[in-house]
Amino acid sequence: MIRGINHITLAVKDIEKSFEFYKDILGLKPVAKWKNGAYLTAADTWIALNLYPKVADAKRTDYSHIAFTCNSSDYQSLRTRLLKYGCVEWSENESDGDSFYFLDPDGHKLEIHVGDLESRLKNMHDKPWEKFEYY
């Protein structure tokens, strides 16, 4: 039985650049770093960065991405910091709550989002023209 997400591993071309991005720009907590990798945490989620020089240059065109939670009070300053850093926006927000969809230095699709599953379900419930099945 699955109990949760253990960790998320991202292949990166440059450990130093990616470590600084996730630590200084996104604000993840650094745990350990070595020549070919690094560990950081986002609240209780463990993020692993692994050096992989052959990171795919081809970009995914689907909606698959990793979303990080941020407080409403931090959203605008974090979005501004990401844009100032040079992050490319890969999608516009069409969901409830503030969201900014951006690429990390290796092209991984990420999102910062204000809200949680409860607020998302409430928003869906408020759309009577949609038919949702809840469990």
Residues 49 and 87 in one domain: no
Residues 76 and 65 in one domain: yes
Residues 19 and 50 in one domain: yes
Residues 129 and 80 in one domain: yes
Left, alpha or beta for 4 (phi > 0: left; psi -120 to 50: alpha)? Answer: left
∠ CA(62), CA(68), CA(74), 5° rounding?
130
Let me know: does 56 contact 106? Beta carbons within 8 Å: no
pLDDT in tens, the chain (135 residues): 888 889 999 999 999 999 999 999 999 999 999 999 999 999 999 999 999 988 876 677 888 999 999 999 999 999 999 999 999 999 999 888 899 999 999 999 999 999 888 887 877 776 666 677 777
The C-alpha torsion from 28 through 96 and 77 to 30, rounded to 10°, is: 0
Q: What is the pLDDT of residues 55-86, one digit of tens each?
A: 876 677 888 999 999 999 999 999 999 999 99
Which residue is it, tokens 């997400």? 5
How many domains is the chain partitioned into structurally? 2
Residues 37 and 64 in one domain: no
Q: Which helix (H) or strand (E) holds 63?
A: none
- Please state, in angstroms and rounded to a whole number, the distance separating the CA atoms of residues 97 and 102: 16
Residues 29 and 10 in one domain: yes
- Please state, in angstroms and rounded to a whole number, the distance separating the CA atoms of residues 96 and 51: 35
CATH number of the domain where residue 16 is located: 3.10.180.10
Structure token pair of residue 106: 């290796």
